[in-house]
């Protein structure tokens, strides 16, 4: 850019022109990838076919993976529990989830629970990008963000 000041320091690129300053940083430095294990993952988006929807207000669903144990710990928004899970670089295989059996008082929470339990069974593809974990099982999916 003509008339611009350009500096590079550490992992920052700074461009200054007139009264405008633009600072750029590598996304992996600015938003480091959250580890799969020992992170509490908060459900953000539910995917059903070609439709992605936000988790309803007031419903909180989480997922965590144990360190040293091949276990997944889940809170569906209504019930909580755990199950065995094995994973490699691209897939997870979930065993049956042992969940509490409380009735969902909120129909929105019941819908979230149905979506979570539909995805977290059998072989599930996953992608970990930055602070986002996406799980897909057939045409259904869950998108979590690191808590």
Q: What is the pTM of this model?
A: 0.80
Rounded-to-integer distance, Cα 81 and Cα 72, Å: 8
143, two tokens: 């998108």
C-beta separation of 24 from 109 below 8 A: no
C-beta separation of 142 from 87 below 8 A: no
In this prediction, residue 1 has a pLDDT band, given cuts at 50, 70 and 90, of very low
Rounded-to-integer distance, Cα 58 and Cα 93, Å: 29
Mean pLDDT along residues 127-136: 96
C-beta separation of 134 from 119 below 8 A: no
Mean pLDDT of the chain: 90
Domain locations in the chain as residue ranges? 1-30, 41-146
Question: N- to C-terminal Cα distance for the chain?
Answer: 40
Domain 41-146 is in which class? mainly beta
Which of residues 13 and 67 earns the better pLDDT score?
67
Cα dihedral angle (131, 74, 72, 81), rounded to 10 degrees?
170
Closest CA to 87 of 133, 138, 146, 24: 133
75, two tokens: 């809170």
Share of the chain above pLDDT 70, in %: 93
pLDDT tens-digit profile of 22-80?
Answer: 877 665 555 578 999 989 999 999 999 999 999 999 999 999 999 877 899 999 999 99
Mean pLDDT along residues 80-86: 96
């Amino acid at each position: 850019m003509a008339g611009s000041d350009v500096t590079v320091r550490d992992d920052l690129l700074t461009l200054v022109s007139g009264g405008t300053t633009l600072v750029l940083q590598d996304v992996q430095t600015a938003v480091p990838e959250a580890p799969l294990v020992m992170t509490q993952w908060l459900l953000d988006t539910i995917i059903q076919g070609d439709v992605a929807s936000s988790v309803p207000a007031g419903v909180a669903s989480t997922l965590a993976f144990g360190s040293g144990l091949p276990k997944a710990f889940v809170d569906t928004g209504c019930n909580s529990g755990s199950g065995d899970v094995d994973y490699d670089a691209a897939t997870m295989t979930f065993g049956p989830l042992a969940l509490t059996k409380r009735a969902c008082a909120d129909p929105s929470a019941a819908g979230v629970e149905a979506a979570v339990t539909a995805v977290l069974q059998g072989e599930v593809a996953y992608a970990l990008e930055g602070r986002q974990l996406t799980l897909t099982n057939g045409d259904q999916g869950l998108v979590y963000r690191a808590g």
